[in-house]
Structures are given as structure tokens and as C-alpha cells.
Amino acid sequence: MKGKIKTPVLVCSKEKIAEKYRLLTSALPGVQHFYAAKANFHPKIIKTVVSLGMGLDVSSPGELNLARENSLPGEKVIYTQPIKKEEEIALARDYEVKALIFDNPEEARKISRVWPGAPVLLRIKVENPFCVVNLSEKFGAEPAAAKDLFLLARDLGLRVRGIAFHVGSQTINPTPYFETLKIVRRLFNVAAGEGLYFDLLDIGGGFPIAYRQPIMAAESFFQPIRSTLENYFPSTEIISEPGRFVVGDACYLVARVVGKAVRKGMRWYYIDDGLYGSFSGKVYDHADYPIHPLKEGEGKPSVIAGPTCDSFDVVYREVILPEMEVGDYMVFKSMGAYTLASASNFNGFDKPELLIEEDELEFQVF
């Protein structure tokens, strides 16, 4: 580390975000990608993904406002929250978003009252043992109920464009994608038998990144998904909702040791960010971020704790670290997604500043 910097600070690379987007477009040709704003909705990140040509997947009025601030047309925005206030539906209507999501009869009725003829996608439930965060416990209709739901939506005057699903966050095996696509193909056929010809498919997100454990190579992961899409949906418009995959490993956190102690024979290092800040993703997202102490020396089991006065705020236990001193720096990689987005100001601590590496970095980390 050269020079003193104000920490904690989150450093993100526009080129790494662009690299992940290029990988996606190569691995899934023809698929339109709508960045999941919830992963990291910092204005600098949103500006970067929009500049690459991505649309936005939004789930709240605040996220919809990000599209407005970046002059995105409605066709480049999908509103994927399955349960919405009527005021939210009205905002999406006025913005003329590409599609709304629903997964139950009451939501279909609500949408039809506020936005007659709205373009909608029916979200179905996915069974997936390979994800870290299960997104089908709270949302998604059973596939067996899909026919009744899309026929109800049609009878209510909605424009049912197709099906949406999300296999779950940080899915490390592609099997749930192509197995779900087979179910979706059958539902498309059932709809056609009822005179409903779907033209839009949303395959969600959940594409994984590496944390402290290795994952399948990207080409191997995406190949069966690509093949299934080409075989089953050759003429359907297809969209996805990548968030973590785009921004997760494009950012790293720099934190500083602000205190040290020995407790029951174990070294404890207290840093200026913790579970109530950027490491909130360890709690909500079950992420295990790689640690890079900017110090050499013999490694010993150690504890890393956050700065708040809450004993819950312990970030790592029994990790191998060289002996650190107050003022030393640690770098934590792959911290672009579900970190700053869910950080709080608990105890009055400020959230980290976010810097764009290519434009704003005035120090050298490595």
C-alpha cells in the first residue's frame, strides 16, 4: 500500500464489469441482460452497466428511479418484484416498463385494476439444492398452477407475454436452469393450446462467482444453458437478470486494522468495517470473501472483528494471518455484490466510499 488513504473504501473496476458483461454476451448469445440493481445500486455502478448497454431489473420505486436518472427507455426496464403496491404498479405503468411479474391471482387482479392490458410474465417456482439463497420459498407459482394463472391473467385483460423464473442466488451447478427450461417449454406449449402465444422468457440470474471456494469454469457452466435455450426456444425473446455475476468480483474492499488484542490465546484484529457495514453480505448473502492481508510473515489462526460495540460483529474466526499492527491494511476481494447495498449506519459509522479504479484511484494497493 502506497500512501495513506481513508478507509474503509470499496474500489470497483469498470473494465472488470465490462469483462463480465462481455463474457455473458459470448456465453449466452442473443440473450438480453438486465442488471439486477439490488446487487449494488450505487449510482456509479448503475451508470457503468447502463453505459455497456445493459437494461435494469428493478424491484422498487427507488430502483425504478435509477432507470429514470440514467434516461433508460421503458423497454430496457423490467419490474420483477412479484408483490407490489398499487402505487408501484402505477409508476411502472407511467414508465411503460417492458414487463411486470406476478405469481398469484390477487396480484394479477391488482395489476389489471391499475394498468389494464399490462405486459406481464408469470413467475414459477424452482426446486434447487445448488443455490446459496433460495428465492422460491417466498415467490413463484407451482408449475402445476401455471395454466390457471395465465388464463386468469388473460381473462383480466392482461397481456401475458411469457414465463419468468429464478433458480436462486449463487447457483453453483447449471442443472436447475436446463431442468426448469424443460418445464417452461411445456408451459409454453400448454399456453399455445389455449391460444396464448408467448414471446418472452426471463431466465433470471443466480450465476455464480468465486469467493474463497472455487467454482465451475464459466464456459462449462453456461454451455448447457445455451444449448437448451437454442433447442427449446429458438425464436423466443430471452432476457436474464444478472447482478452478482456482473459486479461481484469487480470490486474489492480496503480496510485498516484499528485495534488488536489476544483473547484466550487467539489474536484478534479489529478493522474499520464489519458485519453492519460492507460485510453484511456474510449475514444476508452467506458470502465468504477472500482475505488478502498486505503484510508478510508467519501465519497463525486469528479473528477479524468489526468496529461496532456489538459482540455479534465478528467477521472471521480462526483465519490464518501474519501478525498485523494497528494501521496495517487488509484487502477483501469479490465484494461488489450485496455488500454496500445492504450495509447500514449502525452505531453511527459511515458506509464505505465507492471509488472507480480507472478514474478515481489515487493510491496503489498492490
pLDDT in tens, 109-133: 999 999 999 999 999 998 867 666 6
* 3-state DSSP helix/strand/coil % of the chain, to nearest 5: 35, 25, 40
301: domain CATH number is 2.40.37.10
| Residue 289 and residue 319 in one domain | yes
- What pLDDT is attached to residue 213? 86
Q: Domain for residue 6, yes or no?
A: no
Quick one: 196 exposed, middle or buried, by C-beta within 10 A (0-12, 13-18, 19+)? middle
| Residue at which a domain ends, from 213, 231, 247 | 247
> What is the pLDDT confidence band of residue 146, given thresholds at 50, 70 and 90?
very high
| Residue 240 and residue 267 in one domain | no
Per-residue pLDDT tens for 279-337?
Answer: 999 999 889 999 999 999 999 999 999 999 999 999 999 999 999 999 999 999 999 99
The CA distance from 117 to 49, in Å, is 30
How many domains in the chain?
Answer: 2
| Residue 41 and residue 93 in one domain | yes
Show Cβ contacts of residue 138 under 8 Å, excluding neighbours closer than 6 positions: none
| Residue 55 and residue 159 in one domain | yes
| Residue 108 and residue 232 in one domain | yes
- What pLDDT is attached to residue 344? 95
| Residue 197 and residue 218 in one domain | yes
| Residue 235 and residue 332 in one domain | no
Q: What is the mean pLDDT of residues 214-230?
A: 95
Point out the residues that are catalytic: 309
| Residue 178 and residue 220 in one domain | yes
Per-residue pLDDT tens for 54-107?
Answer: 999 999 999 999 999 999 999 999 999 999 999 999 999 999 999 999 999 999
Q: Domain for residue 5, yes or no?
A: no
Q: What is the domain range of residue 240? A: 14-247
CB-based contact 247:45 (threshold 8 Å): yes
* CA dist list (Å): 218 to 173, 196, 238, 251, 284: 11, 35, 19, 19, 25
| Residue 46 and residue 83 in one domain | yes
